Structure 1
Amino acid sequence: MNQDDEFSGPTSSTNQGPLPSKPAPFRSDGKQRASGLTKQTVYPKKVNHSVVTSLKCKKGDKKLYTVVRHVKGASDCQESGESQQYADDIEYLMDGLKGTENVGTRCLSTMGFVEKCSVPQFRMHMRAHGTIAKVFGKLQDAAQDPCLGLCTAGLMYMLSRDRLNMDLDRDSLWLLVRLLSKDTAHRIHQLDPSQQAEYKKVQEKLWAVFTELPKASNSLGDIETSDLSNGHLAMESLLSLTSKRAGEWFKEELRLAGGLEHIAQTVISAALSLSPVTGRMEGENLVLFKTMNRCLRVLENVTFMNNENQQYLLELKGCGLVKAVGKALRMCENQLELCGEPEVHVIKKLDSYGLHAILHQGLLATLRLLLNISHDNEWGSMKVGEQEGLMLTTLQCVLQMPQYICKDQRFDVLVLSLGLLINLVEHSPANTRKLISMKTQRSFDSQSQRSQENSSSEEGGSEAEVVTSLEALVQLFLQRQQAALKAESQSEEEMMGEEPEEWSVAHSDPLDWITIERDSGKGNQNGPQPTEEEIKSSVRKALHSAGKHMEDSIVASYTALLLGCLLRENNLNVASVRDCLPDGDFTCMVDMLKKFLSFIELTNAAGNTGSKSISKVIEVLECF
């Protein structure tokens, strides 16, 4: 080691001079140099290199200061300290998860992970270092003990709150299925009093952690502390994991692990336990329907674009799942009718776990599941169509059900119901004959228009007219098609004159994120400038008009597609539809479907199969 240490960084100089034999007492500017400092000059050994001059200080002269190199910034030190703290906590908690420890110690360590995972940075650290698989690897036997299983399910629930993938491996997924199948809610009464007391303590600790979570990341809703169980938390974790984030391997492993069978059996058992009600659903029926709702949403996610899971659920228990789903669909329809038409100011006061919201979520999950298992599947569409009253209920969802749903949520119900009917009649002549022979009422929009016309005349109100399904669907198409054409030809003044619909609790104002920037330099050259609220109001009205036009166009296109499937190879019904069309011309349907096909091809929303089906229907209608 050199006797001299560098005091400051080197400085460059282009002046070449003789190296002094002893330190100069004064600097070149006449000021006295600090004691202990010596000037050292290093001459270059290569061409074009400059002379380097530096100051040296002996160690013996460093009385009051020292030089520290490469000092980290405050943020770097804090980040490094947090990472080290997280690593120490994980190492400490992992020691308590070993199989050699008693159940109490393992529960405490698992609960420690649950509490730590309430911090997003800790969850991110676990993902970055691959700790999640290691933790669940030491908890593979957690389902055997009620308390440890509840703690493990709580940890899975905490880790599934993020938008990122949970990074579950095969063993962790099988552990999740075991926790789901061995629900402690059914075994808690079989435990001795001491175990029940410990179980309630775990419930209270988990509830204390969950209540601190923000509402956006807490999906437990309005359940009570006593309702917490490993089955409930595992189902919520599975629901979060399968919502558009699960890969194909996840859906495959879930079926192989027995998860699909258990979830489907839960739906079947809940449907059998539902008792018929004449009033609003409450008590045990409401609890069972909530359980069905969660299970149906998981099944909907795992059957999307997965033929193996679709076929598996169709064949399970002799189509028992399809029968249970049909019963759930009919119950949703009956209960929504009992709830009546929702008022916007009432819906805004309800939280997302009210009865109306639960029924709406269940209706959408049921329609999506039936849509998935009947998509491009002749046998599946035949089995779904065989269920008693299911096609009539679906037709009522198209014609009458939207009046019992908030205006900004009707579009989903219409499109899903029409899509399900298209799937059922596309490959099944029996379903086609069944739908054509049905008698129903006109759509609620048509009835409201007729009632307004009759109210101004002497006739007054009249009873709802019973018509054929073909006539009701043609009337729905004409109404939506005319509304879309009106929106296309609407002037800017007329568009701005309309008031946009109010948003329900499921939606917030879409313009809250917009910031209006103003140019203060121009002044008021062109008169007074509109206020920020006036600008947002204009944009809101324009978006409302464009969205209304899109919804009307898509509903009209789906209705025309359904009518085309019904008329294909059924020329006897062509005359009935022709009598309902203006001038008996199918051109309006063909034009609407061509626009829809162009939109589908532009967005690649339906794939090659969907585009081919639409093209075939267009060819059929052009022949009439």
Structure 2
Amino acid sequence: AVKFAELCVKPSFRMHLRTESALERVLDLLKDAPEVPCLNICTAFILYVLSSDTLTSGINLSTIHLMIELVNKNRSKNLINDDDEYKKMKQRILTIINQSLQDDIFYEQRFDTCDIILETFVNICRNNIKEWLKNEARTLHIFDLIIDAINSIVQDLSNNDFECYSLSEILIRYRKVCRYINMLEEFINDHSEQISTNIDINRIYIVQYNQYLLFHSLSKLLDLSLVWFKQYSSTNDHNNKITTTSNIKTDNTKCSDTYDIFRDGCKTIMSIFASLTNDCESHCDRLTSDDRFFSNLFRLLVTIEQSSLPNEDKFDSIALTLNLLINLVQNTKNVYKHLMEDNMPGGSSKKIYEYLANLFCEQESLAAKAESHEENDWMMEDADNDLDQRLGIQNPKNNNNENEANFNRALQKAAGHMENTFVAAFTGIILGVVLLRDCTTYASQIRVLMPQKKFDTMAFILKKFTVFMQMSHAFTPSGVKILQEIISMVLSLCE
């Protein structure tokens, strides 16, 4: 089996296996592999190698069952680590990986059948996941394996800081846990136009598994990510050289690369949280009960703003974080009070809502400045100042071809400032939900921080955002409803 695995590493050999009959014969020969420890881990490795290309097009239920059986049988062998033959096989496979693959995916302390199978699923999930697999992943307890692995790696990173691991050892673990998080999110994202019942069922299962274990793990990972992100943000220089300190083992990893890894990790965490909390009150309630996590959202926003990231990267991270905050404030009863009454983290005297209002004004100003320097030939200016006309878009119910052309031109012209408009809009939505919850108490506090101490600019930004989102068909029904309510509320305050 190990010789066959060595052959599978060669792309030219995998080409011969891409016919359905050849792959079926191989998998049929391996069906008894789960029972024998050496053959078990070797078969898992063969499936991993094939998953990079050959398996992705021909994955079927029997292959998935084989993968899960390999994991289950491997775990049932209590004395497997004392088996000398198994140890030799494990080392031989690691040697093949180091010599032939060099993909920095595996590390010895975690290397076993389960680890290999999870990385196999990572490869499979890079393509559009078939609907039947989304259901099977739940019923076959694949989600359990992924969440348990995420928790285990996060615990490993938490308990073994820089004093125990070199930076390269931390990064290989960190990248692995981020791959698993991305894979998990693929199972709850709907890439098709049809509404999938499996999506909501999977979201509930994933969140509630083992008493919200994933939430606890991700919250802890965000804590760690912020520490490392800040550290490498401050040491990221133009030469991309890492600055070492007394408690960090030196290695050859470039600081800028490290910086990017932790930044992307924060984005990964925000992205799956946004997916898991969308239109789900119970998930939002559970998440906001973690005070440390809630504070970390604003630590992340400040860290991103103050970083030397390119504007495009800043936008991605800030937008995902604000998107999550929208879910939390919209789907909970009391989070809006925390926004109005709590201070920013880190001993700041500034209230959270003041920070959000400043962010709105700053981003709106940048968008307006960029617009003023553009050739706005696509805008239709008139004395009425109607928003749709200012955007160059007529009634969506009429002149669809002309509207589509105008919209495409608008996107091209607005490329330089729409990111600022979107961040301003997201912030405006958060403050707008606060107004929906308790306008009487908080309207005056928010108004005084707005441009010219009026809500007119917020109303314009939100309407502009709505038009673009409607034209790009990016709204959910619930999203349309809440935004309409917010705009109506803000317009009523524009006097």
Residue 470 of structure 1 pairs with residue 357 of structure 2:
no
Change in Cα spacing, 1:581 to 1:482, as seen in structure 2 (3 Å) is same
Change in Cα spacing, 1:195 to 1:123, as seen in structure 2 (3 Å) is closer
Deviation, structure 1 residue 278? 7.9
Higher RCO (C-alpha 8 Å, min separation 6):
2
Change in Cα spacing, 1:491 to 1:412, as seen in structure 2 (3 Å) is closer
Q: What is the CA–CA distance in structure 2 between the aligned matches of 1:168 and 1:252, rounded to whole Å? A: 15
In structure 2, what is the equivalent of residue 591 of structure 1? 460
Bigger mean CA offset, 602-611 vs 573-582: 602-611
Deviation, structure 1 residue 154? 2.8
Deviation, structure 1 residue 110? 4.6
Do the aligned partners of 1:180 and 1:231 also contact (CA within 8 Å) in 2? yes
Do the aligned partners of 2:241 and 2:256 also contact (CA within 8 Å) in 1? no
- Please state whether the residue corresponding to 1:419 is helix, strand or coil: helix
Partner letter of residue 436 of structure 2?
Answer: R
Q: What is the CA–CA distance in structure 1 between the aligned matches of 2:28 and 2:485, rounded to whole Å? A: 53
User: Under a length normalisation based on structure 2, what TM-score does the superposition of the two structures give?
Assistant: 0.78
In structure 2, what is the equivalent of residue 616 of structure 1? 485
Q: What is the CA–CA distance in structure 1 between the aligned matches of 2:91 and 2:144, rounded to whole Å? A: 30
In structure 2, what is the equivalent of residue 367 of structure 1? 270
Residue 173 of structure 1 pairs with residue 64 of structure 2:
yes
Q: What is the CA–CA distance in structure 1 between the aligned matches of 2:19 and 2:258, rounded to whole Å? A: 41
Deviation, structure 1 residue 181? 5.7
User: Under a length normalisation based on structure 1, what TM-score does the superposition of the two structures give?
Assistant: 0.63
In structure 2, what is the equivalent of residue 557 of structure 1? 425
Instruction: Give structure 1 stretches of 5+ with no counterpart.
Output: 1-105, 212-219, 443-463, 493-542
- Please state whether the residue corresponding to 1:356 is helix, strand or coil: helix
Cα displacement string for residues 360-404 of structure 1 (whole angstroms, at most 9, x for unaligned residues): 232122111211110111111111111231111112222333434
Cα displacement string for residues 329-376 of structure 1 (whole angstroms, at most 9, x for unaligned residues): 111112212223433541899569954333223212211121111011
- Please state whether the residue corresponding to 2:205 is helix, strand or coil: helix
Partner letter of residue 171 of structure 1?
Answer: S
- Please state whether the residue corresponding to 2:350 is helix, strand or coil: strand
Tell me which of 143, 154, 160 is aligned to 1:271: 154
Residue 343 of structure 1 pairs with residue 343 of structure 2:
no
Q: What is the CA–CA distance in structure 2 between the aligned matches of 1:267 and 1:369, rounded to whole Å? A: 13
Deviation, structure 1 residue 416? 0.7
Residue 158 of structure 1 pairs with residue 49 of structure 2:
yes
| Correspondence list, 1:418-497, <5 A | 418-440=322-344, 466-490=349-373
In structure 2, what is the equivalent of residue 300 of structure 1? 185
- Please state whether the residue corresponding to 1:605 is helix, strand or coil: coil
In structure 2, what is the equivalent of residue 203 of structure 1? 94
- Please state whether the residue corresponding to 1:570 is helix, strand or coil: helix
Do the aligned partners of 1:280 and 1:339 also contact (CA within 8 Å) in 2? no
Do the aligned partners of 1:154 and 1:206 also contact (CA within 8 Å) in 2? no
- Please state whether the residue corresponding to 1:467 is helix, strand or coil: coil
Instruction: Give structure 2 stretches of 5+ with no counterpart.
Output: 191-198, 243-251, 376-410
Deviation, structure 1 residue 128? 4.2
Cα displacement string for residues 544-601 of structure 1 (whole angstroms, at most 9, x for unaligned residues): 9954412111111111111111221211111111010123221111111111111111
- Please state whether the residue corresponding to 2:417 is helix, strand or coil: helix
- Please state whether the residue corresponding to 1:376 is helix, strand or coil: coil
Tell me which of 204, 227, 241 is aligned to 2:124: 241
Do the aligned partners of 1:425 and 1:565 also contact (CA within 8 Å) in 2? yes
Residue 406 of structure 1 pairs with residue 275 of structure 2:
no
Q: What is the CA–CA distance in structure 2 between the aligned matches of 1:286 and 1:129, rounded to whole Å? A: 38
Q: What is the CA–CA distance in structure 2 between the aligned matches of 1:275 and 1:551, rounded to whole Å? A: 35
Partner letter of residue 449 of structure 2?
Answer: C
Deviation, structure 1 residue 228? 5.2
**Structure whose alpha-carbon radius of gyration is higher:** 1
Q: What is the CA–CA distance in structure 2 between the aligned matches of 1:225 and 1:484, rounded to whole Å? A: 50
- Please state whether the residue corresponding to 1:561 is helix, strand or coil: helix
Please identify which structure carries the higher strand content: 1
Tell me which of 122, 134, 138 is aligned to 1:251: 134
In structure 2, what is the equivalent of residue 330 of structure 1? 223
